[in-house]
Structures are given as C-alpha cells and as structure tokens.
Amino acid sequence: MILITDSGSTKSDWIALDNDGKQLFKTRTRGMNPAILTTEQLQERILESEELVENKANVEQVFFYGAGCGTEGPRKNLEILLASYFHNSKVVVKEDTAAAVYAAVGDEPGVVCILGTGSNCCFSDGKNIEQRVVSLGYTLMDEASGNWYGKNLLRDYGFKNMPKDLMKKFADSYNMDPDYIKFHLYKQPNPNAFLANHAEFIFQNLEERYIKKLLRKGLRKFSRNMILQFSEEIKSHEVHFVGSIAHFAQARIKQVAAEFGYEVGNIVRRPIDGLVQYHIEKIKKQTA
C-alpha cells in the first residue's frame, strides 16, 4: 500500500493506493505542520482516522507533502514519527511546494505559488524546485494567505476600518469577544489556522468593494515580495496557483498579474488530486 498525504496547517488529505495505482481509501485529519506542533500532537492527529489506524501495518511507502516541512529539524522529526507509526514503510517527507508543483505542472517547468492557509512561491525547471525566500513563519510573511487575510479582517474590524454593514455581518459570523480571540491566538495550537478560518468571510462577500480591495492588497504584496523573486523566469513561464484562496480569488489574481506583468497558468483548488495522479503516472512507468 502506498500512502500519499497533502497537509496544510488546517487539514491533511490522505489517499491510499495499491501497487497498481488503484485507490483504496481516502481520509482526512487536522493539519500536521511539524514546525508548530509537538510530536505528541502530530501523532494524535494520525489517530483521528480509523482508516490510518486500521491499515498502518499494510503501508509500504509514505509520500508526505506538508506545510512546515521546509526546514531540516521539523521535517526530520515528522519523518521519524511517520516511520515509527507506519513501521513497515519507507517514508519520504517533502515541503508542500513540491506537492503544489506536481499538482499544477507535473514535470513541466513553471513558477508555482501556494495560496492556502499559508503562502509560498517556487520555480521548477521540470526536475529541480527552487525557492528564493526562506519562510520566517506566518507572523512575518505569508502575504495573500488565509491567515494573512484573516488577520487583516480582524484588525480592520478592531480598528473599525471595515464598512459598517460588513462589520455587522462579520460579528454575526464569528465570535468577536476579545478574550476568545486572544485565547486562540496565544494559548492554543495552530493560531495560523485560527486566523485562516476568518478568511472564509472573503469567499462569502467577493463582490464587496472592501473585499476586492483587501484581496488586491494581499496579492500585490505577494507578487512584489515572492513572485518577482523570479523576475527572469516569469518572462518565459506562466505562474500557476494552488490552494483555496487562489481558487476563490481568481479574478483578482488575473487583475494583479496584469499589473505586475506575468501570465497566469493553472489554478488548482485541491492539490491532492493532481498529486495522486502524478504518483499514479510514476507507478505506471515503473511497472511498464
């Protein structure tokens, strides 16, 4: 059995394939970001899935792609945990940018961006994946991500920089008690996912002038700080986007792309499907 995982900070999608590439089961747990969760918390999340528990001895290979796996320490800790839990398996852990590349362009060249709970950008030449900015975490970076938009919605609400009608809708949709918010930001795991949950408000109000302006603000920052790191590459390659924020913000992405002079390619909402297809093609080549 081959287990393929696409994990963000909010959720993790797991798909099991047999050695012929046929899907055996699909399951979901909470996000498994090793940069912000302890080993105990990570293992608790694996145990959330009955399918993973029941089939752990049958897993022969694990391909785990996740947020927080870009630095050696967290990546290695997660690799050790997975190898210990799925004790009959060979484990490969890679950053979520690799999953985004495989889902968006496969083995073709292109600039690939992640706009989900967090954000990132890389260039793949078809073989090697290059990042030119090392993430310093959601408090300092992650422009145009779910947590960035969630944080800005909360700030604008707090400073009363949001239109009154939207302030009422926002307060009706979320618990805006200051103690509740600070408790989740400072005393609970995954504060970035907590912030990102508020970004759903954007999807429900896409035609509001304030929302359009906020989307453009984040996308301009992301384009300037991340995409333009690949200023030469975008002259000859399309820029592809992966993640739920990208899916819902397509109109604004194309608008900002025209401002910054890059062409938008594929926009993939859920990378797990393209990721699985990528591995199925690899299996077919190995057995041909």
Query: Same domain for 140 and 95?
Result: no
- pLDDT digit string, tens, across residues 213-239: 999 999 999 999 999 999 999 999 999
Query: Same domain for 82 and 192?
Result: no
Task: Please state, in angstroms and rounded to a whole number, the distance separating the CA atoms of residues 197 and 178.
Answer: 16
Using a 10 angstrom Cβ sphere, with 0-12 exposed, 13-18 middle and 19 or more buried, the burial of residue 49 is middle
Quick one: pLDDT at residue 48? 93
Mean pLDDT taken over the chain: 93
The phi-psi region of residue 201 (left if phi > 0; otherwise alpha if psi is between -120 and 50; otherwise beta) is alpha
Query: Same domain for 36 and 96?
Result: yes
Query: Same domain for 240 and 194?
Result: yes
Query: Same domain for 191 and 205?
Result: yes
Query: Same domain for 90 and 166?
Result: no
Does pLDDT of 281 surpass 90? no
Quick one: pLDDT at residue 20? 87
DSSP track, the chain: -EEEEEE-SSEEEEEEE-TTS-EEEEEEEE---TTTS-HHHHHHHHTT-HHHHHTGGG--EEEEEETT-SSHHHHHHHHHHHHHHSTTSEEEEEEHHHHHHHHHTTTS-EEEEEESSSEEEEEE-SS-EE-SS----TTT--TTSHHHHHHHHHHHHHTT-S-HHHHHHHHHHS---HHHHHHHHHSSS-HHHHHHHTTHHHHTTTTSHHHHHHHHHHHHHHHHHTGGGGTTGGGTS-EEEESHHHHHTHHHHHHHHHHHT--EEEEES-HHHHHHHHHHHHHHHHH-
**For the chain, what percent of residues have pLDDT higher than 70?**
99
Query: Same domain for 26 and 143?
Result: no
Query: Same domain for 126 and 247?
Result: yes
Residue 95: name the closest of 72, 111, 117 by CA.
72
**For the chain, what percent of residues have pLDDT higher than 90?**
82
Quick one: pLDDT at residue 190? 83
Which residue is associated with the tokens 């909010």?
Answer: 10
- pLDDT digit string, tens, across residues 131-187: 999 888 889 999 999 999 999 999 999 999 999 999 999 999 999 999 999 999 999
> Which amino acid, residue 92?
V
Tell me the pTM: 0.84
Quick one: pLDDT at residue 270? 86
User: Are 71 and 12 in contact, with CB atoms under 8 Å apart?
Assistant: no
- pLDDT digit string, tens, across residues 122-136: 999 999 999 999 888
The residue with greater pLDDT, 255 or 35, is: 255
Does pLDDT of 119 surpass 80? yes
Does pLDDT of 87 surpass 80? yes
- pLDDT digit string, tens, across residues 206-220: 999 999 999 999 999
Q: Domain of 172?
A: 107-268
CATH of the domain at 163: 3.30.420.40
CB atoms within 10 A of CB 257: 19
Quick one: pLDDT at residue 288? 61
Query: Same domain for 137 and 22?
Result: no
Query: Same domain for 126 and 169?
Result: yes
User: Are 94 and 124 in contact, with CB atoms under 8 Å apart?
Assistant: no
Does pLDDT of 39 surpass 70? yes
User: Are 12 and 278 in contact, with CB atoms under 8 Å apart?
Assistant: no
Q: What total number of domains does the chain contain? A: 2
Query: Same domain for 63 and 120?
Result: no
Query: Same domain for 42 and 97?
Result: yes
Residue 190: name the closest of 68, 28, 26, 57 by CA.
68
